[in-house]
Structure 1
Amino acid sequence: MLSSKAKTIKPSSTLFITAKANQLKAEGLDVIGFGAGEPDFDTPEHIKAAAIEAINQGFTKYTPASGIVPLKEGICNKLLNDNGLKYNPRQIIVSNGAKHSLTNAFMAILNLGDEVIIPAPFWLSYPQMVKLADGVPVIVKTTKEQQYKVSVEQLKEALNDKTKAIVLNSPSNPTGMIYTRDELNEIANFAVENDLYVISDEIYEKLLYDDVEHISIASLNEKIYEKTIIINGVSKSYSMTGWRIGYTASSEEVAKLMNNIQSHSASNANSIAQKATIAAITGPQECVDKMVVEFKKRRDYMFDRVEGMNYLSAIKPQGAFYLFIDISELFGKTFNGKVINNADDLADILLEEECVAIIPCNDFGYDDHIRLSYAISLEQIEKGLDRIESFLNKLQ
């Protein structure tokens, strides 16, 4: 008999839809894909040059499981300069992408049956990772009126003697919303009072718009610092998705456990990518600024277009590169005899009829929302939105 735990794990619908769209493109169809969770920009030249230099110097062997010291020191400096956080290299674990970092974190803190509060909408992998670590995901739904951000009152309702941790994602995937200092202070006080860990996913921290500020919850005070496991990486900010480098910053006690786990599961992250990451986080940052400027243009265009369409509504994202769209007004509408009852229906019809790939958000906790990524060119965004608008106008 195969693993009953493995049978409870769902595949990633975002990767499935992206793969399906790419397959249709390979077959010659003009598919517009709004599913991308990665920037369409190339990795900056100075980062690629550092990787080439590492190869030429023969830096292609095993490294310590938790990462090379120069990279961990660079991460410590980044956390100090960007976030006002003081860590030493022993508190840093470098992994094969932020997904790996998250998995290590859950495995390090959870025992069988421990509960993890996950505010919805959430990145679809969080509940699956918790289950892989023998934990129980507890989903707390938020509303558009609260900007899809969880309140302490909601956290209190979800709390019981099995609660072990809270997941916090700011800026958020899929909403792009950011927690304010006051909101974070309330959550931090709640976590400390109830001896809970906070898994703080900050992977989109550099992709911010309209002068909003990213604040790491770990920076608020010493007590929450000890209970926070920061998740970050270079995939989004430096267009390095395929390089697979993520990292955690935590107490030494938790970091030691994550190091032990990783030493048996994956050993070290790619040695060449580690060298490239040093160049990314310690080198010139203009490449990030240029991406943010372009993402803001795309965000503004997409939001304005969607707001002008029938049946759709959204709030303007403050960070990341996604628009989270309420499609509930579409339910019961038909297209060529096909009824739209949920986001999955809409996604299937749009791909089949209009060659537009969107992400239905059932796996993000909302079957009445979709996610559109603006990590694709403005030209592609315009063409894809034209098709969606035309489709909406033909509904009965």
Structure 2
Amino acid sequence: MDDSEDVSIDMEKLADTLSGKLETLRHLSKDCSIYRVAEPTRCSNPSHFTPRMVSIGPFRHGKEELKASEEHKQRYLKYFLQRTKVRMERFLSFIKERETKLRNCYAETIRNLGSNEFVAMVLVDAVFLIEFFLRFYKRKLTTDDDRIFRKPQLRKRIWHDFLLLENQPPLFILNDLFDLAKTVTDEDAFYENISFVKITCFWFRSQVLVFLPLDENQNIPSVEELHEAGVKFKPAAGSTKSLLDINFNQGILEIPFFKVYDNTERAYRNLLAFESMHGYDGYFNDYIIMMACLISCPKDAELLVQNEVIRLGNTETVPTVFGNLDPDCTLNSYNFQYSGVVTNLQAYRKLPWHKWKATLKRNYFNTPWASISVIAAVILLLLTATQTVSSLIAL
């Protein structure tokens, strides 16, 4: 056998090995919605993407620094099972039947968990979340041994971990397990008229969370610049359902009310990462760009606080929150959702009358006494002019 034949055999073996790998490639499902944060993003702010108290899902499962929360999860599972007549075996079988779909929700193959361990993890983690939201919705469910709801600071830290991109379960399994528990319960009407979505929204409404190189053509003015041009600010009407609903009409810029917490930047950074990786249109991305330009210094934040658009303790933190997120955002000038708002704001600023009116009001009509003084001065000037004209006519 000559060298050429040896090379041919080696290439055939190599081709067979590579073909085998191609045959075993995991099917990429359209259900994928839970991602690993890209390393460049993680390296810039690793603490913003890493759970501190509790792991949810397979990415951080079993980490030594998070094992303390496992007892809390098991305790919640115990009370959850006591409240329903559905046996644990039924819940586990229910999850097992959906294991493939559950695994497909994650952006990478879960190799560190066998089938039984994966199914058990899903049950414990999913019920922990369900029970957490249930106990907030129905406070009477809080037990004496509940170290989470009996200690608000611990609850707050755990809640922060729920917002992390990598620390998520598939939403459908939470809904399905909640509905399964509702089929037979010890307490009549306990779950009547409630759903997992309802109890979750109840929690989120109580929390009210408070996105880049900027194209110069967009030229979004700051709140202070708009204030000097006579623009007024007010929180968007109570009927608005979106944090992103910023509108400008008849000289009034409406911005949905929001609160700024210590955890706001961390939460927003994970929302940005999810929006980018899941392929959604950049709605939140555009919101951050808009807010970063509107609130570029503490004075901008102060004006929004005065107009009850923002609630917080320190106005200097607001520009920092949005400013720190700038590098994670990208402006698409052709598809920027606030282009119409910006165009109208720019047009309003270009009309001198609006600035003159604002300056007049700010400098001469800013208090009742100042207004009276100006009116008195105008009347005196008119009387003097009238007297002068009368004297000239008399001559």
With the shorter chain as reference, the TM-score category is: under 0.3
With the length of structure 2 as denominator, give the TM-score of the two structures.
Answer: 0.25
The structure with the greater share of residues assigned to helix is: 2
The structure that has the greater radius of gyration is 2
With the length of structure 1 as denominator, give the TM-score of the two structures.
Answer: 0.25
The structure with the greater share of residues assigned to strand is: 1
